[in-house]
Amino acid sequence: MTTKPPSGYDFVPAYMGISTFMHCEHSRDLATADFAILGVPFDSGAASWRSGTRFGPRTIRENSMQIWGHNRHLKITPKEEFRIIDYGDVAVDPTHIGRAAEAITTTALDILNSNTQLLTLGGDHSITFPLLRAHTEKYGTPAVIHFDSHTDTYQGLGDELEHGNPFFLAMKHGYIDPEAYIQVGIRGPQSEPDELEEAESIGARVVTIEECFELGMKDLGALIRQHVGDRQLYISLDIDALDPAYAPGTGTPEVGGFTSFQMLTLLRSLRGLNIMGADLVEVNPHYDAGAMTAILAANLAFELLCLMGVNKR
């Protein structure tokens, strides 16, 4: 449902109204909601370089308002088929990552326990750990597709959560199915020579960007589908999986990544998988140019929403 401004003018242009994701109603009434968009304006886990992703959710919302609603590729108009609410943001404590993570899990579980599926906008990538915790509690341990230029399975910090290790910690706590965890788009200079082996040692299937481009998007999509099968699935998309030429607005950009079109193609190829949750993280408006990263992120979030909609039918 779209909240129309009280103008009497029937058509709602993109610039009109309060910014919610795709003009969805801002509501916390979960009783009849099929999907909730949730913002997590948290960047205290961005220990490695530039902060600012706390402004990601608001900017993605604003730039999502020009998305008209029908997905020609996935043949779905999610807002017409489902009740989609913009739940607003998790009240995260920027001074305490443990408390922030608790708040994220609690809020996510409130939503999931009402049988409302969740699409979350970050925030830095540390937020995926408490999100996977909530999804595991609700649905059982999910398969995970993780788009990123970084492995985010760093083990050197032990149990201290930050945006370089959410998938290590999630695997350690049983929030990821070790048989069905795939990292896609990995590249760039490494902090340790054995970073990829470290990821593989906990069960990740690491698909480097070289392998992605050698396969092409069609075969890459097939490889991903084969790895996760028909398991219950969570998708986590770090915007830095895309090339900084397309997504400069991020904290830790790595050159040599996916184009916008390649990522759109790849996501659309995942149609029919059993996706029950997704997030899109690491959008940092401070380093954006003409909102190109936020516009891209909004469109990728729309694709994720459409994939979830197709699955929920």
List residues binding Mn ion (CB under 5 A): 125, 148, 150, 152, 238, 240
Nearer to Mn ion, 285 or 309 (CB): 285
Question: What DSSP line would sit under 186-242, residue for residue?
Answer: E-S--SSTTHHHHHHHTT-EEEEHHHHHHHHHHHHHHHHHHHHTTS-EEEEEEGGGB
Give the amino acid at 239: I
| Residue 223 vs residues 198, 247, 308: alpha-carbon distances, Å | 21, 25, 20
Residue 169 CB coordination number (10 Å): 27
Neighbours of 6 (CB within 10 A): 6
Contact 292, 249 (CB under 8 A): yes
Report strand pairing: 117-122 vs 143-147: unpaired
**Burial class for 227, CB neighbours closer than 10 Å (0-12, 13-18, 19+):** middle
What is the end-to-end Cα distance of the chain in Å, rounded?
A: 18
The owner of tokens 């990538």 is 125
Longest dimension (CA), the chain: 62
